[in-house]
Structure 1
Amino acid sequence: MTWGRIKIPIKELSLDSVLRSGQSFRWKKYDDEWVSVLHSQVLILKQDPHYVYYRSLGPSADSPLPAEDRDVEADLRDYFNLNVDINRLYSHWASVDRHFEKRSQLCQGVRILRQDPWENLCCFICSSNNNIKRISQMVENLCSRYGSYVASYNGIMYYSFPPAPELRAPAVDQELRKLGFGYRAAYIQKTADKIAEWQAAGNSLHDLRTRSLAETREFLMEMNGVGPKVADCVCLMSMDKHAVVPIDTHMWNVSKKLYKDAIKVSFASKSMTKLVYDSISSALTALWGDYAGWAQQIIFTSDLSDFQKGVFLDENAKAQLAARRTAVKAEEVEIEVKTETAAEVKTELVEIGLATVATDTGRSKRTRIKVETAIETTAKATLPPKRRRRT
């Protein structure tokens, strides 16, 4: 296999940032290579500061899938939405939102993927009250059990994503429960049955890309296990609805802390009603514009623990972050926090990597938080970073 390449700087497309950001759950990294299945081919990607390199394995001789002569570069340009000028968008968002400007320094090259709608829908049905690691394992189990063998690479067998007719039989529910899907098993099976019947009448999920956001969302929410958040994620990540802003519990908390002045809604309620959801989403769309969903994904991604540590910054950005840290004198500051736990305020304190938090309790009404600035290697107890949940 020979390597092809696409010239694109890492600040415009970072594989490490995009493929870890909770949009797609099938990509795995081995050493410097990212591997997954796209269009019934095993794709292998790697990157340097100036190019993305790619190669592919079509269906092997013992695969039931037909061989296709595909333009892999065109597939990748479509999948990563490379027609979108991310530099222009970053500049616009930074000019209208000071919070975005801070966070974008730690999160470069994030783009919204243009995924297969059926795969995207199933994966986000699995995302309910779940985390990225477990969702990835569930999707892997689904493909290996019901998908078709594609090819092997470095001793690992890769499978296609199963189409809706393969998942519509009632027995699929119990089989998926055995594979660890829990209550989501019934959602997958019933949704597959509806989609398979709809497709048999000559319809295609890809056609929804040309429909309005309201029409597409309404259709998706008729599926089992699909509420406003899941529908909006699918609209954004596979239906070309770039302005939609999905609101999960994480974005609820971010909105409450950073954007409450721009959102005309009370955050007193502990539950997210339809009114609250729509108000937050609409306000952030108004703030960020036609590609507001992309800005939301960058805010979400920047708050994952690896990005808070600066793991995926390029060398120049790492140097800037180090300079900011060393410019802050090592000192301890006492902060009083009303009713919030240490975990709830941690995001703000370490927003740009300038602080770590230590606390002895998160239960009292008024919690004393100790902040240590500029010392990343502190030996004092800190709250461990948690993988962000898609809830």
Structure 2
Amino acid sequence: MKIYYHEDRVLITELFDFIPKHVFECGQCFRWEEQLDGSYTGVAHNRVINVALNDNTLIISNTNRADFEKIWFEYFDLGRDYSEIRQRLARDKRMEPVVDYGKGLRILKQDEWECLISFIISTNKNIEHIKKIVNEISNKFGDYITNYQGKDYYSFPEYFTIASLKISDIRDCMVGYRDKYIHGAAEYINANREWLYSLKYLEYEEASNELKKLDGVGDKVSHCVMLFSMAHFKSFPVDIWIQRIMRALFSISGNNNEIKRLAEQQFGDYSGFAQQYLFYYAKENNIGSKNRKI
């Protein structure tokens, strides 16, 4: 990987595992939008950037060297060799087509608070609806960041901002019954300000149990938050797409905890990476539908 710094962008060559569509459309993040030219513009860590892949050169625009080194290198997990991960997972021949299809996918290192609320919102919602809600909350209660290419962008509101709101204010953002869960989480974190950001230092199960102290956070939400913001890569969130592909590929069924346990036995320390390849493959190929099989 070679990195070239310019005044308003960073160029990266010889990075063989980064395809923006696979990164931003694998169900892990909700503030990235595809542009007409195929690039993606997104909001993270109170910044707005555009990411494009052009002739095998990754172009990160509207940024600089300082932000790249402080934020984006870690956010995009650029220090990890994903080709090695794919090779390890593909030792099981059943995973070969899955990791080949998802080549270029990377797990983002998101902010814990925004990730937590995003996945509380995600319960029984599709990805497009989650995006709309997260953007609505940001536009109403977040701080203005900048106008980029003719569009205004706002940060995701801090926990103390959400804690200061009325529950009805949150409900107006189309969150339904989750309004009280979002408000309750904000109040708890506002009263225990070191708690959420210390969980990444705990053991996997301990961190999950801590998160599940919050109303509205069960196994799936806690596992998503740990995987997508805390680098707990043993985490294996289970939803309907994972249920379907685990049944189709590995003949594994049962309740979500049983699927998770068997998957973690299968993939070990690479469970989280396997989950993302499996989820993306299943969703994009509609695995489990009446007319679609592997």
Q: What is the TM-score when the length of structure 2 is the normalising length? A: 0.91
Aligned to 2:76: 80
Q: Kindly tell me: are residues 7 and 176 of structure 1, through their superposed partners in 2, closer, same or farther at Cα, counting changes over 3 Å?
A: same
| Amino acid in the other structure paired with 2:270 | Y
Aligned to 1:141: 136
Aligned residues: 287
Find 1:296's aligned residue among 262, 271, 275. Answer: 275
Would you say 1:16 and 2:10 are equivalent positions? no
Long gaps (5+) in structure 2 = 1-6
Contact kept? 2:43, 2:153, Cα under 8 Å: yes
| Amino acid in the other structure paired with 1:81 | D
Shift in Å at residue 170 of structure 1?
A: 5.3
Aligned to 2:164: 169
Q: Deviations over 1:148-191 (max 9, x none)?
A: 000001211001111101001351x2122222111111111111
Find 1:107's aligned residue among 102, 108, 113. Answer: 102
Q: 2:24, 2:246 → 1: CA distance? A: 24
Q: 1:282, 1:208 → 2: CA distance? A: 21
Q: 1:215, 1:187 → 2: CA distance? A: 21
Would you say 1:44 and 2:50 are equivalent positions? yes
Would you say 1:283 and 2:262 are equivalent positions? yes
Find 2:155's aligned residue among 133, 138, 160. Answer: 160
Contact kept? 2:10, 2:63, Cα under 8 Å: no
Would you say 1:231 and 2:222 are equivalent positions? yes
Q: 1:88, 1:102 → 2: CA distance? A: 16
Shift in Å at residue 49 of structure 1?
A: 4.1
Would you say 1:6 and 2:12 are equivalent positions? yes
Contact kept? 2:121, 2:130, Cα under 8 Å: yes
Aligned to 2:91: 95
Which structure is higher in helix share?
2
Aligned to 1:344: 289
Q: 2:250, 2:81 → 1: CA distance? A: 26
Contact kept? 1:57, 1:151, Cα under 8 Å: no
1:6 alignment partner, SS class: strand
Find 1:250's aligned residue among 221, 241, 262. Answer: 241
| Amino acid in the other structure paired with 1:209 | K
2:289 alignment partner, SS class: helix
Contact kept? 1:303, 1:347, Cα under 8 Å: no
The worse-fitting range, judged by mean Cα deviation, of 101-110 and 208-217 is: 101-110
Q: Deviations over 1:53-86 (max 9, x none)?
A: 112269xxxxxxxxxx943244222011122211
1:95 alignment partner, SS class: coil
After superposition, the CA RMSD in angstroms is 2.1
2:137 alignment partner, SS class: helix
Long gaps (5+) in structure 1 = 59-68, 268-275, 310-341, 352-391
Q: 1:284, 1:343 → 2: CA distance? A: 18
Would you say 1:192 and 2:186 are equivalent positions? yes
| Amino acid in the other structure paired with 2:189 | I
| Amino acid in the other structure paired with 1:196 | N
Q: What is the TM-score when the length of structure 1 is the normalising length? A: 0.69
Would you say 1:31 and 2:36 are equivalent positions? yes
Q: Deviations over 1:14-58 (max 9, x none)?
A: 111110111110011212331122222211221124221112269
Percent sequence identity over matched residues?
28
Aligned to 1:181: 175
Q: Kindly tell me: are residues 76 and 347 of structure 1, through their superposed partners in 2, closer, same or farther at Cα, counting changes over 3 Å?
A: farther
Structure 1 segment 184-223 matched on structure 2, within 5 A: 184-199=178-193, 203-223=194-214
